[in-house]
């Protein structure tokens, strides 16, 4: 208790017009406050009661704001922000084989990854994301950039059959990844997981080894899966198995697994996903831009399968805006299913928060605003003409153009942005580094 008063001293209080905690479901709290101490949510009270019970070192009065859990971007190649707009308007295989992979072979270095990840981190913070999952080369540099930004990060170290700038083959990738995992063991904001790139780039033996190691370590696995119709048809022609069947046979599918894209899904595939408990990472805007197909989100959710959201890298999306992905995911689900009630506003927000935390194995810590969870929080101002009138704050988040209205972001109760000003990253430096790489690559 603070001396001379009947109030409890805490680190931070956030007083908000609306709080959408995600848990309990479909809940909107009005004129309430989050009480935060030692990086955790200590209490949620009506503001008048919170002010009576607590005194805080720092207080924010967000009287025209919506406060939500920090958004969780479950699939990214953050360093590829430096290739934003570099190779637009190509099909996936052409985009990869004729543009992205040759460019990466020439330019990807530790410096490239560090600078590109900081650019992505700045963009993600400015659009409300507090946690991101990443799969890219030199993940040790991604970790450094994430630490510098203050964001929470799950690193999926890449594994492929062929050499790249980061490794010579599967054994080398796995050895380096395990060393990175040891380096960040029990770290509060960085954890390391397996990232076999895709069924068509990783052979059986490494996949089986990853399945065994992941189970032993209880470490997540993220893999691109059923991204295009050609991927599936080629696999069937060559092996007689759909890729998901092969992964299941090899023991790779479990609640630890994050299946990215899944635009080609049959009823049989849904049964496999239900039986194994694997998670789906839906990247609607990247899939649309590359004409990869449509993930049947409504059918997956109706079958109890966890579906989370990712932006994919900026080279195949052009932005890292998870609020934009929420809107696209909701609209696309309605169009694909023919059901206007599919993926309602609350569901879209849950996909971008708690479902994402669950896919990453972090739902005990983040993804909702609950007492005892980490204080990863996003605040959005809704006082501009484009947001008015405001009848339903959850609808505003899911259907309005909202990301540029994000005003404050916290991770573990630490501010990453206040009143649109980045507090952990030097915006001028990030901008200059982006221009430096543009000039190098263009030349």
Query: 76-115, pLDDT tens digit by residue?
Result: 999 999 999 988 888 888 888 898 889 988 999 999 999 9
Is the sign of the CA dihedral 85, 194, 112, 94 positive or negative?
A: negative
Which structure tokens are listed for 344? 């309602």
Whether 137 contacts 423, CB under 8 Å: no
122-142 confidence digits (pLDDT tens): 999 999 999 999 999 999 999
Return d(Cα 173, Cα 159) in angstroms, integer.
6
Q: What are the residues facing 307 on neighbouring strands?
A: 280
What's the rounded mean pLDDT across residues 175-199? 97
Quote the CA–CA distance of 225 and 264 in Å, as a whole number: 9
With a pLDDT cut of 70, the percent of the chain lying above it is 99
**Given pLDDT bands bounded at 50, 70 and 90, which one contains residue 179?**
very high
pLDDT at position 4:
46
Read off the pLDDT of each residue in 55-66 and give the average, rounded to a whole number. 97
Residue entry with tokens 């985009």? 95
Residues 6+ away with beta carbon under 8 Å from 168: none
Residue 62 has pLDDT above 60, yes or no: yes
Q: What is the pLDDT of residue 1?
A: 42
pTM: 0.97
Strands 152-159, 129-134: pairing kind: parallel
What's the pLDDT at 2? 43
Q: Which residue has the higher pLDDT, 299 or 102?
A: 299
Tokens standing for residue 421: 């000003």
By the 10 Å C-beta count (0-12 exposed, 13-18 middle, 19+ buried), 319 is classed as middle
Confidence band, pLDDT 50/70/90 cuts, at residue 443? confident
Cα–chain center distance at 223: 14
Reported as half-sphere exposure (CB side, CA atoms, 13 A), residue 154 has a value of: 26
Listing DSSP states for 223-281 in one string gives EEES-SHHHHHHHHHHHSS-HHHHHHHTT--STTEEEEE--S--HHHHHHHHHHT-EEE
8 A C-beta contact, residue 224 and residue 282: no
Express each pLDDT in 215-249 by its tens digit.
999 999 999 999 999 999 999 999 999 999 999 99
Query: Is there a contact between 33 and 46 (Cβ–Cβ < 8 Å)?
Result: yes
Distance CA 170, CA 75 (A): 21
> What domains are there in the chain, each with its CATH number?
8-69+369-412 (2.30.40.10), 71-359 (3.20.20.140)
pLDDT of res. 5:
55
Mean pLDDT, the chain, whole residue set: 96
């Amino acid at each position: 208790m603070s001396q001379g008063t009947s109030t409890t001293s805490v680190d931070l209080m956030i007083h908000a017009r609306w709080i959408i905690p995600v848990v309990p479901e479909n809940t909107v709290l009005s004129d309430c406050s989050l009480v935060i101490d030692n990086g955790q949510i200590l209490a949620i009270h009506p503001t008048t009661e919170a002010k009576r019970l607590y005194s805080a070192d720092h207080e924010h009065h967000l009287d025209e704001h919506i406060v939500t859990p920090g958004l969780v971007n479950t699939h990214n190649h953050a360093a590829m922000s430096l290739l934003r707009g570099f190779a637009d308007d190509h099909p996936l295989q052409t985009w990869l084989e004729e543009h992205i992979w040759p460019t990466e072979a020439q330019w990807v270095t530790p410096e490239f990854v560090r600078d590109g990840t900081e650019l992505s981190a700045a963009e993600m913070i400015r659009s409300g994301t507090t946690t991101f999952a990443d799969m890219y080369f030199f993940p040790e540099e991604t970790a450094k950039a994430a630490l510098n930004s203050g964001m929470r990060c799950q690193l999926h170290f890449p594994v492929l059959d062929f050499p790249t700038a980061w490794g010579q083959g599967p054994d080398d990738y796995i050895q380096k990844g395990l060393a990175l995992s040891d380096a960040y063991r029990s770290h509060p904001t960085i954890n390391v997981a397996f990232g076999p790139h895709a069924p068509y780039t990783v052979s059986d033996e490494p996949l089986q080894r990853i399945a065994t190691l992941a189970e032993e370590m209880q470490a997540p696995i993220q893999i691109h899966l059923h991204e295009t119709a050609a991927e599936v048809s080629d696999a069937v022609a060559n092996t007689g198995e759909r890729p998901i069947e092969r992964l299941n046979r090899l023991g790779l599918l479990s609640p630890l697994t994050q299946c990215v894209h899944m635009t080609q899904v049959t009823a049989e595939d849904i049964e496999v996903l239900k039986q194994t408990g694997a998670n789906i990472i839906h990247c609607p805007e990247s899939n649309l831009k590359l004409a990869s197909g449509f993930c049947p989100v409504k059918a997956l959710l109706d079958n109890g399968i966890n579906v989370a959201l990712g932006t994919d890298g900026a080279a195949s999306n052009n932005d890292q805006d998870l609020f934009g992905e929420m809107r696209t995911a909701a609209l696309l689900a309605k169009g694909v299913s023919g059901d206007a009630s599919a993926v309602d506003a609350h569901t879209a927000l849950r996909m971008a928060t708690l479902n994402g935390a669950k896919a990453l194995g972090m739902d005990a810590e983040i993804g909702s605003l609950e007492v005892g969870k980490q204080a990863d929080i996003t605040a959005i101002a809704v006082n501009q003409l484009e947001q008015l009138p405001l009848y339903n704050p959850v609808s505003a988040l899911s259907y309005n153009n909202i990301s540029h209205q994000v005003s404050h972001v916290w991770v573990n109760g630490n501010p990453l942005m206040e009143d649109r000003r980045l507090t952990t990253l030097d915006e001028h430096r990030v901008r200059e580094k982006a221009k430096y790489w543009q000039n190098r690559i263009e030349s």
